[in-house]
Structure 1
């Protein structure tokens, strides 16, 4: 399927949605389980391109990962080399696996999709060099590159600029317990985006038995063993954005089941953002429901801690009764595509009025019309286009299969939501 006709909402919604597990939690759990003292099982793990690439990367390093569907089993082992890792377009793989691969004795090469070869890697590679790891990247600070490890990493103090991605910090922290001196990591530069993902990394390290101390822009991880056992993966709350936003756009209600009462996932900000855009949110301790009110409002919001919500919220904003401004998201220019440029281009192509800001996006609603919505091999652009298509007839979504990166079931879940 090269294009998909995004369906309009035939009536106000009354839907219940069950979402697969969190990509961010699944991939962190895989890295931690790979280093544990005993085997682990991941309950409710996400099965998508990004997590399959992570599992394949660990297998390439000699670590046992058995995919039993929703439950994955990991048999830890010291990483081995030589090896070759395909990162695809996964920021998790390209930033979480190299610090682990540095513990192998021998060369480990990394490459990925063409779009991945422009995603920022330099600060991570420089940090590994500072920790004594040999890195050959032709001076580019990008994929492809090769690490040559000696079987151990001394660890210690290192300073990086992680303003391009919180994954640069998380990647180093997740393998730090296996470094001889652990790590003391300092960030110098503009603020690190996606703070909840850093909180998730720290929380999961501690739950696995690591000793982690934090202060502003400083993280200390002590050397020591990690526990195996059971990881329970929460539903992916970032992937809830388009389903809950659908209720705001189309009216009626959408419920996402098994919403955690307390979580580090950035998608939890939907509880605060969607009411500001016209929805009513209720939570019964287990399920989260958004109801449309027949009104869609523009907002001014800093999304620095939840940048993955920007594309869907931009579509809601394009349908609002007033302008919106989303800031704190300059770094999403370096995600799967230049997301700010992509949003401005597609909204404008369909008759809207959108403008890039130095650190975000401004949208001034205008009447929209149908047309091809280009998605730039970016899964969240597909989900954004579907949200817009609920209210704008004739939206043809390019390359819908790209949702396989994080939510292969998206088209079925979307159709089912509309048919309930």
Structure 2
């Protein structure tokens, strides 16, 4: 008989002793890193990825591409020519495209970008590519990618589940063309088909035919990165039809890209300034970006803070008061857990709207936030598409994470102001934010 595994350790969330004053170097963007890995892997020439994020999701993506034959060399470099330089600005990955091939098995973990972006790449490979992952990955929707690829000529065996596990039987090419999909449960369905579209024989035309499309900034990020690599992309914003994106077939350039800090992962640190009335600097915050996390400047300012872009980076200052907010987060749903945590500590109620799709993320984030905040004494109610949060005095207790990195950081935010909060499995933050506990305690000077 096998013994039950030990429950994850509980991490005592540090209580802030006063106003936080810190500068926090936030690691690179997961969304940019994984899109860049895909585009570089199907390019016509090698490329460089500088300051990539090393986290569970990005290492799963790199391992999967290596399994399909892509060369990814890790080095330290700061040379604009790509030559390795010891003592350079940081880590760099050189991506060397080659003939994609199977057989191979891909472990997606619970990474939406891996499970959705790579089946189209696998359709371009010679041979079968099997996709499997964590138990939760079996519950996450993939029908938009599977149905779309089949309509474009791919052969996929998923035993009609519309979900993992599945096998893509690559034929070395894909005809491509026009396809209609319902991407209302994840914008990643659109991005997945667009990213590989330049390699399809006819390119691709993706038509979204469902309800409201969430997380539009991530589609804009995909389009921007495709264009950087030399792809021709027509979008609704560039005068095209609503909910229609076209990518022309053609070779992609190998790009030399420095990855921006992950602005969504900056959220807990900015929240610390808001919750404690402190001041946090995030270096290298981009002046212009497609990252959804940039909306934090607007949202957290409305909740009582102020910010300024300086030569140091983004300087965010809390006022010592937190105000409730009524906000539609449909385009920036990944920010919901952190905003909910701050809202639970505010001086007035909040309504978070437009995020029904969060029920299909790493966990059902709306149910999880409601349960965990309420078990600390809060008053959170689920709505059809979000949460209503009425602040109440909170108490300590165990904050469960459900293997969801953003639940863990949300609990840590509450723990700044509430003594005795214990985060279950804080290690899940390694999915996108490696070394979070050390960054957090370092920010607090502990």
TM-score by length of 2: 0.93
Aligned residues: 420
Give the CA RMSD over aligned residues: 1.0
Corresponding residue number in structure 1 for 2:439: 413
1:331 lines up with 2:357 in the alignment? yes
Q: Which moved more, 1:143-152 or 1:21-30?
A: 143-152
8 Å Cα contact 1:261/1:285 also seen in 2: no
Q: Which stretches in structure 2 are left out of the alignment for 5+ residues?
A: 1-7, 77-90, 237-241
Corresponding residue number in structure 2 for 1:366: 392
Corresponding residue number in structure 2 for 1:41: 48
Deviations 1:89-121 (A, max 9, x none): 100000000001001122111010001110010
Deviation at 1:285, TM superposition (A): 5.2
1:101 lines up with 2:122 in the alignment? yes
Aligned to 2:111, which of 90, 105, 114?
Answer: 90
Aligned to 1:214, which of 209, 220, 235?
Answer: 235
Aligned to 2:417, which of 374, 391, 409?
Answer: 391
8 Å Cα contact 1:261/1:286 also seen in 2: no
CA distance in 2 between partners of 1:324 and 1:67 (Å): 45
CA distance in 2 between partners of 1:229 and 1:239 (Å): 25
8 Å Cα contact 1:12/1:250 also seen in 2: yes
Corresponding residue number in structure 2 for 1:307: 333
Corresponding residue number in structure 1 for 2:196: 175
Corresponding residue number in structure 1 for 2:427: 401
Q: Which moved more, 1:335-344 or 1:105-114?
A: 105-114
CA distance in 2 between partners of 1:286 and 1:303 (Å): 28
CA distance in 1 between partners of 2:24 and 2:204 (Å): 41
Aligned to 1:5, which of 9, 12, 17?
Answer: 12
Question: 1:233-244 counterparts in 2 under 5 A?
Answer: 233-244=259-270
Corresponding residue number in structure 2 for 1:245: 271
Corresponding residue number in structure 1 for 2:63: 56
Corresponding residue number in structure 1 for 2:137: 116
Corresponding residue number in structure 1 for 2:83: none
Q: Which stretches in structure 1 are left out of the alignment for 5+ residues?
A: none
CA distance in 2 between partners of 1:352 and 1:19 (Å): 30
Deviations 1:295-321 (A, max 9, x none): 110000111111111001101000111
CA distance in 2 between partners of 1:46 and 1:306 (Å): 20
Residues 376 and 127 from structure 1, CA distance in 2 versus in 1: closer, same or farther, beyond 3 angstroms? same
Runs of 4+ in 1 over 3 A off after TM superposition: none
SS in 2 for 1:390: helix
SS in 2 for 1:190: coil
CA distance in 2 between partners of 1:295 and 1:150 (Å): 59
Aligned to 1:272, which of 276, 295, 298?
Answer: 298
8 Å Cα contact 1:260/1:286 also seen in 2: no
Question: 1:123-142 counterparts in 2 under 5 A?
Answer: 123-142=144-163
1:288 lines up with 2:305 in the alignment? no
8 Å Cα contact 2:41/2:70 also seen in 1: yes
